[in-house]
Amino acid sequence: MDAALQPSAADQHATVTLPVVVKLGGSVVRGGTLKGWLDVIADAKRPVVLVPGGGALADEVRDCQRQLGFGDVTAHRMALLAMDQLAWAIAGMRSGYEVGTAVEDMQGVLQRGLVAVWAPSSLVADRSDIEATWRLTSDSLALWLANKLGAEACCVVKSVALPRGQHSANALMQDGIVDEAFQGMLAETGIPTMIFGQGDHAGLAAQLAGKVSAPSPVVV
């Protein structure tokens, strides 16, 4: 973790429970199941930082790139702004959810007992350690943020049906379920990561409650 992002000794004593990062895929928004997942997160007994995918807005960026021919760095910035917009939309939909842009913002939101929703563009856009291509999307960014926050775990929610049990990051990437940079980011951060498929609200609820019935971690 960056030295500047490490909590002070006083903060460490004040913090009892590490946060969990939950990444909601943009396909969840398009599929009309967002409310159910937000209900699960709102009922969590531990602090949660929500990372929204770019959804249809990010798809529009891809289409515009094909039509207008701008480069991947520009597309990367636009896709981050798409995530920002969905973060603000979610916070506007539900009480108890508040947008945070910097690590300190999100820590403050969590301390007030709210769900922090990450709008990533201001924190990520100019970083040289984050690949500015379509190989790296909100899946890998959720792992990156979890590492910066010192999170307990990262939960990735997808709209495809997935069996309970252990999954390999490589197999998930080959099936197009996570982005191409996900396996490398998982290996680099070492964050315990679980993936939840369509309708597995009970699985996510169990993970956020710290129950053993939650799915096994994704392995590199």
The sheet with strand 153-157 has its strands ordered as 97-100, 115-118, 48-52, 20-24, 153-157, 193-196
| pLDDT value for 17 | 79
pLDDT of 52-98, one tens digit each?
998 888 889 989 999 999 999 999 999 999 999 999 999 999 999 99
Q: Is 141 exposed, middle or buried (0-12, 13-18, 19+ CB in 10 A)?
A: buried
Q: Is 150 exposed, middle or buried (0-12, 13-18, 19+ CB in 10 A)?
A: middle
Q: What is the pTM of this model?
A: 0.88
Mean pLDDT, to the nearest integer, of 133-157?
95
The answer to whether residue 7 scores a pLDDT higher than 60 is no
Domains present along the chain, CATH in parentheses: 18-208 (3.40.1160.10)
* Coil, strand or helix at 95: coil
161, two tokens = 């049906």
**pLDDT confidence of 13, banded at 50, 70, 90?**
very low
Alpha carbons 194 and 196: distance in angstroms, whole number? 7
The answer to whether residue 12 scores a pLDDT higher than 50 is no
Q: What percent of the chain has pLDDT over 70?
A: 91
* Amino acid residing at 144: W
**pLDDT confidence of 6, banded at 50, 70, 90?**
low
How many CB atoms within 10 Å of residue 10? Answer: 8
pLDDT of 167-192, one tens digit each?
999 999 999 999 999 999 999 999 99
The answer to whether residue 5 scores a pLDDT higher than 70 is no
The answer to whether residue 28 scores a pLDDT higher than 90 is no
Contact yes or no for 216/165 (Cβ under 8 A):
yes
Alpha carbons 79 and 92: distance in angstroms, whole number? 20
Alpha carbons 115 and 94: distance in angstroms, whole number? 10
Alpha carbons 180 and 169: distance in angstroms, whole number? 9
Give 141 or 7, the one with higher predicted confidence.
141
| pLDDT value for 103 | 94
Alpha carbons 56 and 48: distance in angstroms, whole number? 24
